[in-house]
């Protein structure tokens, strides 16, 4: 299991070297493919969050694990009145402050937030592709509970996860957990699930698929993205299909978006 210091050092080095969608995304597939993948992510986020009965022009939101600011920009597109960002790394926070000088960014470990946002009462907190990188189960639980303290009653928690319908898959820098385990922690923290749907379907690792399909499709993706030109072509070819799939399917073998409401 990776220690917290090792985890932070891993991300400090990665984001200092590559502050792009590749740095925060599926690195093995290259930048060009990741840029197509993130187009789908943005569309899904805007569609699902935009459908909530919330006047975002009056809302205060916090983005946890802001990375390159991708979802900060998405909140700006939704017209959020006040946007605050955070990240585990100094590398990301420094660059975020430079790129968004009008916004507040803080270095934050969501599992141990301290008093950084003491007394905060956000209308929504987003935490995209972050929680599955918390490899310790107790720290994962602590992260969910700290988010609950940041969201006002009636407010929303928006996050993406690999909600497995099989036993947990544990790696050095990522743990994919069963959906029942995750929703139990959400319920204990005071959240009700109001929405879950595919964030991606084919343009990411098939972590919740059968072994044969998972390995076969993973091999196809890696072969198609060996170079930046072929990665761009693969992304361009999959993009229209992926857009249809995330709208038509209710389950995904990879990352999904979940929206919870604070009781």
Please say whether the beta carbons of 261 and 214 come within 8 A: no
CB 23 within 8 A of CB 15: yes
Q: How far is CA 160 from the centre of its chain?
A: 5
pLDDT for position 135: 94
Q: What is the pLDDT of residue 27?
A: 75
Domains of the chain: 4-262 (3.40.50.150)
37-88 residue pLDDT tens? 999 999 999 999 999 999 999 999 999 999 999 999 999 999 999 999 999 9
**How much is the pLDDT for 100?**
97
Task: Using the predicted structure, report yes or no on whether residue 2 has a pLDDT greater than 70.
Answer: no
pLDDT of residue 173: 87
pLDDT at position 24 = 61
pLDDT at 9: 73
Query: For the purposes of burial, counting CB atoms within 10 Å of the CB of 138, is it exposed (0-12), middle (13-18) or buried (19 or more)?
Result: exposed
Confidence grade of residue 1 (pLDDT, cut at 50, 70, 90): very low
Positions of E strands within 46-145: 60-63, 82-87, 104-107, 122-127
Tell me how far apart the alpha carbons of residues 213 and 208 are, in angstroms, rounded to a whole number.
10
Classify residue 102 as exposed, middle or buried by CB count within 10 Å of its CB (0-12, 13-18, 19+). exposed
Give tens-digit pLDDT for 117-164: 988 899 999 999 999 999 999 999 999 999 999 999 999 999 999 999
Give the rounded percent of residues in the chain with a pLDDT score beyond 70.
92
pLDDT band at residue 237 under the 50/70/90 scheme: very high
Quick one: average pLDDT of 239-252? 98
152 and 123 Cβ atoms separated by less than 8 Å: yes
Q: Whole-number mean pLDDT of the chain?
A: 93
User: Average pLDDT in the 27-45 region?
Assistant: 93
Report CA-CA distances (Å) from 115 to 19, 101, 146, 202. Answer: 28, 23, 11, 40
Considering the chain, what percentage of its residues have pLDDT values greater than 90? 86
């Amino acid at each position: 299991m990776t220690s917290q210091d090792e985890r932070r050092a891993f991300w400090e080095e990665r984001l200092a070297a590559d502050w792009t969608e590749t740095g925060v995304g599926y690195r093995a597939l290259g930048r060009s493919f990741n840029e197509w993948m993130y187009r789908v992510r943005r569309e899904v986020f805007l569609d699902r969050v935009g459908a909530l009965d919330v006047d975002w022009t009056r809302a205060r939101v916090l983005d946890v694990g802001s990375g390159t600011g991708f979802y900060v920009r998405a909140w700006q597109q939704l017209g959020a009145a006040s946007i605050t960002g955070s990240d585990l790394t100094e590398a990301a926070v420094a660059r975020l402050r430079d790129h968004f000088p009008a916004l507040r960014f803080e270095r934050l470990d969501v599992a141990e937030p301290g008093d950084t946002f003491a007394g905060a009462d956000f209308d929504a907190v987003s935490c995209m592709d972050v929680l599955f990188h918390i490899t310790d189960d107790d720290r994962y639980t602590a992260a969910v509970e700290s988010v609950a303290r940041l969201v006002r009653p009636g407010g929303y928690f928006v996050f993406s996860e690999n909600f497995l319908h099989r036993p947990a898959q544990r790696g050095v820098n990522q743990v994919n957990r069963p959906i029942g385990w995750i929703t139990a922690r959400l319920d204990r923290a005071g959240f009700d699930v109001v929405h879950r749907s595919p964030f991606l379907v084919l343009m990411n690792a098939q972590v919740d698929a059968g072994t044969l399909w998972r390995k076969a499709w993973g091999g196809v993706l890696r072969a198609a993205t060996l170079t930046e030109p072929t990665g761009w072509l693969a992304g361009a070819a999959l993009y229209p299909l992926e857009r249809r799939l995330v709208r038509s399917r209710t389950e995904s073998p990879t990352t999904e978006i979940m929206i919870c409401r604070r009781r």
